[in-house]
Amino acid sequence: MPTEILMPALSPTMEEGTLAKWLVKEGDTVSSGDILAEIETDKATMEFEAVDEGVIGKILVEAGSEGVKVNTPIAVLLEEGESADDIGETSAAPASGEKATDKDDAPKDNAPKDEAAKAPAKAAAPVEVKSNASPDWPEGTEMKTQTVREALRDAMAEEMRKDENVYLMGEEVAEYQGAYKVSQGMLDEFGPKRVVDTPITEHGFTGIAVGAAFGGLKPIVEFMTFNFAMQAIDQIINSAAKTLYMSGGQMGAPMVFRGPNGAAARVGAQHSQDYAAWYAQIPGLKVVMPYSASDYKGLMKTAINDPNPVIFLENEILYGRSFDVPVLDDFKIPFGKARIWKEGSDVTIVSFGIGMQYALEAAEKLAEEGIDAEVIDLRTIRPLDYDTVLASVMKTNRCVTVEEGFPVGSIGNHLSAVIMERAFDYLDAPVINCAGKDVPMPYAANLEKLALVTTQEVIEAVKKVTYR
């Protein structure tokens, strides 16, 4: 049967075009790759090549025709043994084409069914929400005092002892013993194959780690600070976070990206950014930002065992701080479970990471003034424990969020939206977001203090929402 040559779509957006010029005439023999015609699209004039070989039996659309719809037959190609008389068999009328059909059907087929349309905030109507918060270890468990730094190292070392394919790579992690001494002693125990010093080349070694994860290993990538991970963010997001989806579930990147995040002290704008909200935006990543040493330990062990890429945001100021850590064989804390540090009835203060320091200090001072605050540590930002936050807000009817990052598009902004959608009727005051100021971090000591969120600001916000 003669083959119809159809008006081609020559760009992702083209729906019609001008058949500017025919470069063949009826009776010409063409083979695949020969240029048949010139076609003007909305963007440019393009050459149109033959796909099949044969003889041009009939030209259906004259040169110079404008507004020729994509998929309209423009010529008929005869194969060996066919003649122009056979042309009657094919329809010369503009074929509706499969594109048009698909398009018409698309909206119906693609309309997400309600149950499939999952959003972080489940819609509307006040319902009973149950807090997820429960103790992380059994009562009576023996405790020891550890710094965040030691807890992190123990978590990594314990998992590396269990799984040969877990390894640590980054700048100065091995012989230098860690730029912030987090990996102290690990080279001695695990050797240079598993504790790998890299050159200063974040984009490159992050890509190598992603490839190693595709290849069956479980890399822990240390960034000397997350500020430097901006060099590598394409590999983190486009390669690590999206591949599982793009491969239809065939392969992903089980790995941990970790290192200090946010402001330290007096290191200026390029070394002081908090990236919690950046990474929290990405489907495919899990994002953790702990405060206490026990959380650092329990969540790092969970992160290493997680089959997805995990962003583990640490804090340099907290590294040296001591907390009680349970003495348990395999102490893990699940993702997506907030911790209630202090129960209270007047207001809910939600924070994470070093923001908890301001939240807890504020709660203590507020208590002296007779304001009983409930303080929630999110611990993981993605997945986020919405229910614990909502249950608390439904009880206290007021909420203040605290974080160190920039105020625009912050985690607090997101929480406010979720609270508004799911607990609107419970609110007795607008939610207030305490965040870092909307300025690059200054160096001068006085200005730096002003740029960061402060305990006093949290106190003032609480007084505002409680109308004191």
Partner 1 sequence: MATRKAAATPNISADELKTYYHDMLLIRRFEEKAGQLYGMGLIGGFCHLYIGQEAVVVGLEAAAEEGDKRVTSYRDHGHMLACGMNPDGVMAELTGREGGYSKGKGGSMHMFSKEKNFYGGHGIVGAQVPIGAGLAFADKYLGNDRVTFTYFGDGAANQGQVYESFNMAALWKLPVIFVIENNQYAMGTSQKRSTSSPEIFRRGEAYGIPGEMVDGMDVLAVKAAGEKAIAHCRAGDGPYILEVKTYRYRGHSMSDPAKYRTREEVQKMRTEKDPIDHVRDLLVSGGHASEDDLKEIDKSIKGIVNQSAEFAKDSPEPGVEELWTDIYADVAPQDEDA
Residues annotated as catalytic (active site), given as ranges: 202, 271
Closer by beta carbon to partner 1, 127 or else 447: 127
Q: Does 424 bind partner 1 (CB under 8 A)?
A: no
51 CB-near residues (< 8 Å, 6+ apart): 32
Q: Does 9 bind partner 1 (CB under 8 A)?
A: yes
- Segment interacting with partner 1, rule: CB under 8 A, options 77-85, 305-313, 361-369, 428-436: 305-313
Q: Does 217 bind partner 1 (CB under 8 A)?
A: yes
273 CB-near residues (< 8 Å, 6+ apart): 226, 227, 261, 262, 263, 405, 406, 441
204 CB-near residues (< 8 Å, 6+ apart): none
Q: How far apart are CA 468 and CA 368, in angstroms?
A: 14
Closer by beta carbon to partner 1, 51 or else 87: 51
Q: Residues 24, 46, 157, 233: which binds partner 1 (CB under 8 A)?
A: 46
Angle (nearest 5°) at CA 335 between 334 and 339: 80
CA atoms within 13 A on the CB side of 434: 30
Q: 203: closest CA among 211, 194, 191? A: 211
In the numeric block, which tokens belong to residue 221?
A: 């990538």
Q: Considering the complex, what minimum distance in angstroms separates the CB of residue 431 from partner 1?
A: 19
Q: Considering the complex, what minimum distance in angstroms separates the CB of residue 363 from partner 1?
A: 24
Q: Is 244 helix (H, G, I), strand (E, B) or coil?
A: helix
Q: Does 386 bind partner 1 (CB under 8 A)?
A: yes
- Segment interacting with partner 1, rule: CB under 8 A, options 91-99, 134-142, 392-400, 445-453: 91-99
Phi, psi of 458 (to 5 degrees): -65, -45
Closer by beta carbon to partner 1, 9 or else 264: 9
Q: Considering the complex, what minimum distance in angstroms separates the CB of residue 198 from partner 1?
A: 7
| Dihedral sign of CA atoms 81, 87, 89, 93 in order | positive
| Dihedral sign of CA atoms 400, 403, 406, 410 in order | negative
Q: Which element (helix H / strand E) includes 145?
A: strand 143-147
What secondary structure letter does DSSP report for 72? Answer: -
Q: Does 254 bind partner 1 (CB under 8 A)?
A: yes
Cβ-contact 265, 297 below 8 angstroms:
no
Q: How far apart are CA 257 and CA 287, in angstroms?
A: 10
Q: Considering the complex, what minimum distance in angstroms separates the CB of residue 158 from partner 1?
A: 20
Q: Does 60 bind partner 1 (CB under 8 A)?
A: no
- Segment interacting with partner 1, rule: CB under 8 A, options 79-87, 136-144, 349-357, 379-387: 379-387
Closer by beta carbon to partner 1, 148 or else 217: 217
Site for partner 1 in 157-196 (CB under 8 A): 165, 167, 193
Q: Does 29 bind partner 1 (CB under 8 A)?
A: no
- Segment interacting with partner 1, rule: CB under 8 A, options 146-154, 246-254, 344-352, 395-403: 246-254
- Segment interacting with partner 1, rule: CB under 8 A, options 111-119, 325-333, 339-347, 432-440: 111-119
Q: Residues 6, 24, 87, 269: which binds partner 1 (CB under 8 A)?
A: 6
Q: Considering the complex, what minimum distance in angstroms separates the CB of residue 155 from partner 1?
A: 19
Q: Does 203 bind partner 1 (CB under 8 A)?
A: yes
Cβ neighbours, 10 Å, residue 188:
10
Residues in the chain: 468
Q: Does 432 bind partner 1 (CB under 8 A)?
A: no
Closer by beta carbon to partner 1, 83 or else 247: 247
Q: How far apart are CA 178 and CA 170, in angstroms?
A: 9
Site for partner 1 in 317-376 (CB under 8 A): 335-336
Q: Residues 25, 93, 140, 250: which binds partner 1 (CB under 8 A)?
A: 250
Q: Residues 83, 141, 145, 201: which binds partner 1 (CB under 8 A)?
A: 201
Q: Does 91 bind partner 1 (CB under 8 A)?
A: no
> Exposed, middle or buried, 322 (CB in 10 Å: 0-12/13-18/19+)?
middle
Q: 14: closest CA among 4, 22, 6? A: 6
Q: Does 230 bind partner 1 (CB under 8 A)?
A: no
Q: Considering the complex, what minimum distance in angstroms separates the CB of residue 122 from partner 1?
A: 8
CA-based radius of gyration for the chain: 31
What secondary structure letter does DSSP report for 147? Answer: E
Q: Does 108 bind partner 1 (CB under 8 A)?
A: no
Q: Does 31 bind partner 1 (CB under 8 A)?
A: no
Cβ-contact 437, 451 below 8 angstroms:
yes
Question: Max Cα separation, the chain?
Answer: 99
Q: Does 124 bind partner 1 (CB under 8 A)?
A: no
Q: Does 116 bind partner 1 (CB under 8 A)?
A: yes
Phi, psi of 203 (to 5 degrees): -60, -45
Q: Residues 2, 10, 56, 371: which binds partner 1 (CB under 8 A)?
A: 10
Q: Does 12 bind partner 1 (CB under 8 A)?
A: yes
The residues pairing with 53 across neighbouring beta strands, listed in sequence order, are none
Closer by beta carbon to partner 1, 149 or else 422: 422
